[in-house]
Amino acid sequence: MKILLGISGGIAAYKTPELVRLLKKAGHQVRVACTRNALELVSRIALETVSGEPVLFETFSPRTHPGVEHIDLAGWPDVVVIAPATANVIAKLAGGLADDFLTTVLLATPAPVWIAPGMNTRMWEHPATLENVRRLTGRGVRVIGPDSGELACGTSGPGRMSEPSVIVRILEEHFTRPRPLAGRRVLITAGATREHLDPVRFISNPSTGRMGVALARAARELGAEVTLVHGHLEVPVPDGVVAVPAVSAMELHRVVFEWKDRADLLIMTAAVGDYMSASPAAEKMKKEALGATLTLQLVRTPDILAELSQPGNDPSGPGNRPGERRPILVGFAAETAGGDESRLLELARQKLSRKGCDALFANDVSLTGAGFASETNQGVLLFADGCVVWVPQGTKDQVAASLLESVVASLLR
């Protein structure tokens, strides 16, 4: 694997020659890019000796071959690891700033990015730093550490960069794990649909699309070719995922049916509106003309999941055209069970039966940490064969990984 190690100006930079050595020992190609401040804390000669490559840090430097150095380097690695990642570099990465060689490479690279933070405890715990880390993880950046312990400033607490051996172990475990979805195509819907009443008003719901985006990211990491059909999102689409926008339920219906025959697995997490305006106004409705009350005529939107589950779309039989099979279908249901697990399970069973899909995940949005806009989730995954898997509360990335593991084991063997 080709690894670009980015080094910023934290005291833990002195550990990076050992990190390079361990990565090379594990069989990886390693190149180093750093900030000028980093070279005040670690020897350029030491880094070049252990890596066998020149250390790059100047945006404008003499060139021995044609090309733009930061663009060339950005396209080289399979993964970028920033260690240590200072509060300053984390803030720049979160804000999309590119004011030196390292941050310019980071903005230009299509490779996945990992950061190993290293800084003073107060800097790590500052709300701005924590918010920047949340923004980065929402974009798919992975974080290793930081650890707690004695810091160079003489204090003790969280903020110490993880040891080089730990960083290497975590990278190895991640990139050498099985990729059971390699060669599979996964279609995921996410976000909230909007049913317009007129050009400026619409009916919608609080979905942010976080769960669907987390599933898209997890499926991509398991080797799948992922397409995300999305309504309104409040989080970015992960790198390497094909994004297809669909504003309304009718648009989502059209796009899903256009793409379904290309998918092996279809996961419906989108919060699709159940009703739409019977006759949306072409121009903005003036409240002076509407009066004190407004009566709307609404009509049902298509039940996309139920339509996909029709007999003609049986996964073990022919699809809409000769020789085709429908994808395996996984539905999602946001329920209000008041914290009653037996009630949630019963609601999930009823919906699974009505929809006719292969599996259904139900979460109780009345629980703290499982509702819309939450960064965590929990619930129950129910399969058509009666198998039940309870998914404990975790981040939506953790829940996504757990759900895909269960779906792959049960439906894609």
**Short-list 51, 12, 61, CA closest to 29:** 51
Nearest CA-CA partner of 196 in 147, 231, 240, 157: 231
Q: Are 266 and 308 in contact (CB under 8 A)?
A: yes
Residue 408 CB neighbour total at 10 angstroms: 18
**N-term to C-term CA, the chain:** 28
What value does the CA radius of gyration of the chain take, rounded to a whole number of Å?
25
Closest CA to 125 of 87, 96, 92: 87
d(CA 119, CA 12) in angstroms, rounded, equals 8
Residue 373 to residue 191: CA distance in whole angstroms: 11
- The amino acid sitting at 86 is T
Among candidate residues 5, 18, 9, the one with its CA nearest the CA of residue 166: 18
* 249 token code pair: 């339920």
Residues involved in catalysis = 153
* Alpha-carbon separation of residue 350 from 214, 347, 354 (angstroms): 26, 5, 6
Residue 261 DSSP symbol: G
The DSSP bridge pattern shows strands 328-335 and 265-268 to be parallel
Strand-pairing partners, residue 79, are: 3
CB 337 within 8 A of CB 385: no
